[in-house]
Structure 1
Amino acid sequence: MGSSGKRSGPLAGVKVVDLTAMVMGPYCTQIMADLGADVIKIEPPDGDGTRYISVGPSPTMGGVFANVNRGKRSVILDLQTPEGKTALWALIEQADVFIHTMRSKAIARLGFDYAAVAQRNPGIVYTNAYGYSRRGPMGDQPAYDDTIQAECGLTAVQQMLTGEPSFVGTIAADKVAGLTALYATTMALFHRERSGEGQEVEVGMFETMASFMLVEHANGAMFSPPLGEAFYPRAVARNRRPYRTKDGHVAALIYNDKHWSLFVKAVQPHWVNDSMATLKQRAKQIDRIYGLLAETFMERTTQEWLDLLGGLGIPAAPLRTPGELFENEHLKATGFFETVDSQHGPVKFPGVPTWFSQTPGRVAGPAPELGEHTAEVLAELGLSPIA
């Protein structure tokens, strides 16, 4: 993507200076770019490390990088040099948002902490996104998705569910924290729109995932005195898993009383009794009921179950792979995927999952080559090229 003048969406006209790397910060700013913001990605001379960690059409364009940096402009700045710092200050002075993923002491050593930035641009929204809040004793500790999954209790509930502590098969902490940084930043922009007042925002991965996990798992531990342990029994029931069928698996949730009654009437399992009539009763023995349902699901094929449950209005789904999503008929019908031309050929991006009737977003362009827009952006600032 070249000039910022062709952008559309609810964030059109917003300029973001993006000093983030890996996934958490870039995922946040990717969505901002999809929704119209002009995102200027600041990279060191050797680039964001995510460029190199997965397969891609060139050594500096790995698939993960290409996805979370689409539609941005890449500028190489060496922030250890006076010239690099001068250019970053010039960008910050014109920006609506400055977001970084450096630890608090590191960004302060560079001279770009909030106090310094706000002195130059009082109206800026300044977002810190890192592992742990600097307001606590772990504030300057390093963190990655795996360590935060462990720290926030996610590996522990996986152990309750499966018998072994394990990570989930996606970088959940990075992505949830990225989404949290997105909503926090846009809320600060909304406040500025009403008041004219900029502010500093802090998003810690640990605090974000603690909040995320405790939505349901705080449970009885929230009360004083505690009424139970900090876990939600249904989510960690050992028998909570896709049901094996005669020829495969199916996912189904026969949960509320309406769906339960419809299922029982249609299937007539021999093990059903009056102690299972209500959701309250079933919740107290949910793991046992999941196990009994598992036996019943073995009696029919996957398609037979999908047909039956679909006809009853009970949520059910086949098990898909990520690769199968690219050919999913529903996603095709909604226009979810967007194919964008790049210098490496067409790229089929998973598109904007939200829909706006007046200000729709779109994939604004391919991910930039390393430093592709350095000269362009410096010229916009009236600065000479940096040797």
Structure 2
Amino acid sequence: MTEFSGPLSGIKVLDLTTVFMGPSATQMLGDLGADVIKVEAPGGDSTRTLGPNGEYGLGPLFLGLNRNKRSIVIDLKSAAGSELLLELTKSADVLATNIRPAAMARLGLGYARLAELNPQLIYASMVGFSQKGPYGPKAAYDDMMQAATGLAAVMGQQAEGEPRYMPLAIADRSVGLYAFGVIAAALYARTRTGKGQCVDIPMFETMVPYVLGDHLYGHTFVPSQGEFGYPRLMAKNRRPYKTKDGYVCCLIYTDRQWKIFLEAVGKGDLLKTDPRFADIRNRTAHIDELYQLVSEELEQRTTREWLGLLPENEIPIFPMHTLESLLEDEHLAATGFFTEVEHPIVGRIRETAVPSEWSGTVPLNRHPAAALGEHTVDVLREAGLGEQRINQLVADNVVFQRPVVLQPPQAA
């Protein structure tokens, strides 16, 4: 058995999740030291084939969501495959899945069956919708959640245009983060009760508070006392500000900050003559107009000039990065946030650090994402299966070892 470091060292996770949401949650468990065994279908996670090096089953999205995991391939649709997973479950602490509950039940892998074999198992089911409502059986994806929760509508409304999606898998990643916390909490609860449990993590019900937490606003009250939407976040002029030579984010919020800013741009008299600046309540009501004023002022100087002037006066400001310039950020370089590691198949890859910093049980990036079925035989041996049975499972196409993968051509 491989020895791991990190606060979750000693925890074994069977990871039946695919694509974004589930793998992001289980990668966090792996980052913090859990032994995450990614159980894949014979074709592998679909993200393996997307983007550069997808032909080797190691595309960039897969690499970014599946480090610190081992890969085992089992055909769960076969009777022998589902029985094999039941055996592996006996020694697992967590089973994480985003396969729909009805499909898991058809495979004989529902919670009731697994709990009989392992009463201490945490069964984390990441679903689209609560199983208690009429949407329960529906599949769900990030785009669907952005639309269903009103986020796409809010995006369009703020920009005074058509509804649109954020160019991030924001629902998948947000719910994945929540699922990670839920699984960690369930593991803690087990230390007190001695028992495992099933936890459902629905995307829809998780994302609705994200959106309404900011934008329920006047409808928080019954009857309602105003409109939907926090005005500051909905202001069309809430965006990076253009300078003479670039863009910056500048957030002027408190009474003191507005006073300093207006005096710095020679408009300190507005504090006395313009009621829009009187207090935070009035500023919020007129925030779009105030952001327009800030925008006009910031265009008058270069980014460097503003970065020199405003921080000295305790006004938060930061230059806008592009994706390209973000990789060169001096702070991230100083903290060692980006590392380059050698992947045995696709060569040198860039990884990000585990973002938390620990004084004791330090988590590590132990290994990059695994090739499909790279650890099948190792995991089965650890589970106590003999060589004869393993060979038979391979011969019967119930499990698959890592296939022969050609080394991609290296850059000259």
TM-score bracket for this pair, using the shorter chain length: over 0.9
Task: Give the counterpart letter for 2:380 in structure 1.
Answer: L
Q: What SS class does the counterpart of residue 304 from structure 1 fall into?
A: helix
- The answer on whether the counterparts of 1:160 and 1:237 sit within 8 Å (CA) in structure 2 is no
Deviation at 1:87, TM superposition (A): 1.8
Q: Which residue identity is paired with 1:154?
A: L
Map of 2:306 onto structure 1:
305
Instruction: Give the secondary-structure state (helix, strand or coil) at the position aligned to 1:338.
Output: strand
Distance in 2 separating the partners of 1:147 and 1:272: 46
For 2:242, give the aligned amino acid.
R
- Preserved CA contact (<8 Å) 2:82 2:109: no
3-state SS of 1:357 partner: coil
1:324 to partner: Cα distance = 2.4
Pairing 1:115–2:112 present: yes
Determine the structure 2 residue equivalent to 1:12.
Answer: 9
What's the counterpart of residue 332 of structure 1?
A: 333
Tell me the amino acid that sits aligned with residue 351 of structure 2: F
Tell me which amino acid in the other structure corresponds to 2:371. Answer: E
Q: Does 1:353 align with 2:350?
A: no
Contact 1:271 1:292 (C-alpha < 8 Å) held by counterparts: no
List gaps (5 residues or longer) in structure 1.
none
The residue number in structure 1 matching 2:220 is 222
RMSD, aligned CA = 1.4
Q: Report matched runs for 1:2-41 at 5 Å.
A: 3-5=1-3, 7-41=4-38
Distance 2:317 2:206 in 1: 30
- The one of 125, 128, 132 equivalent to 1:128 is 125
State the secondary structure of the residue aligned to 2:270.
coil
Kept in 2: contact 1:22–1:49 (CA 8 A): yes
Q: Which of 365, 371, 374 is the equivalent residue of 2:367?
A: 365
Query: Could you tell me how far 1:247 is from its partner in structure 2?
Result: 1.8
Which residue of structure 2 lines up, in the alignment, with residue 167 of structure 1? Answer: 165
Shift in Å, 1:56: 2.8
Partner of 1:272: 270
- Which of 52, 73, 77 is 2:74 aligned to? 77
Does structure 1 residue 45 correspond to structure 2 residue 47? Answer: no
Aligned amino acid, residue 235 of structure 1 = L
What is the Cα deviation at residue 124 of structure 1?
A: 0.9
C-alpha distance in 1 between matches for 2:259 and 2:222:
37
Of all paired residues, the percent bearing the same amino acid is: 43
Question: 1:194 Cα deviation (Å)?
Answer: 1.9
2:126–2:200 CA contact under 8 A, matched in 1: yes
Aligned residues of 1:33 and 1:364 also touching (Cα < 8 A)? no
- What's the offset of the Cα at 1:327? 1.9
The answer to whether the Cα contact below 8 Å between 1:269 and 1:296 also exists between their aligned partners in 2 is no
Question: Structure 1-normalised TM-score?
Answer: 0.96
Q: Deviations over 1:318-350 (max 9, x none)?
A: 111223222211112122223332203232201
SS in 2 for 1:347: strand
Query: Does structure 2 conserve the Cα–Cα contact (< 8 Å) formed by 1:338 and 1:363?
Result: no
Please report how far the alpha carbon of residue 271 of structure 1 lies from its aligned counterpart in structure 2 after TM superposition.
7.8
Structure 1 stretch displaced more, 195-204 or 371-380: 195-204
Tell me the SS of whatever aligns to 2:56.
coil
After TM superposition, the runs of 4+ consecutive aligned structure 1 residues lying more than 3 A away are none
Match of 1:61 in 2: 58
Letter in 2 for 1:218: L
Query: What's the secondary structure of 1:76's corresponding residue?
Result: strand
Alpha-carbon distance between aligned partners in 2 of 1:57 and 1:133, rounded to the nearest angstrom: 34
**Gap regions ≥5 residues in structure 2:** 395-412
Q: Which one is further off, 207-216 or 49-58?
A: 49-58
Q: In the alignment, which residue of structure 1 is the partner of 2:379?
A: 377
Are 2:256 and 1:258 aligned?
yes
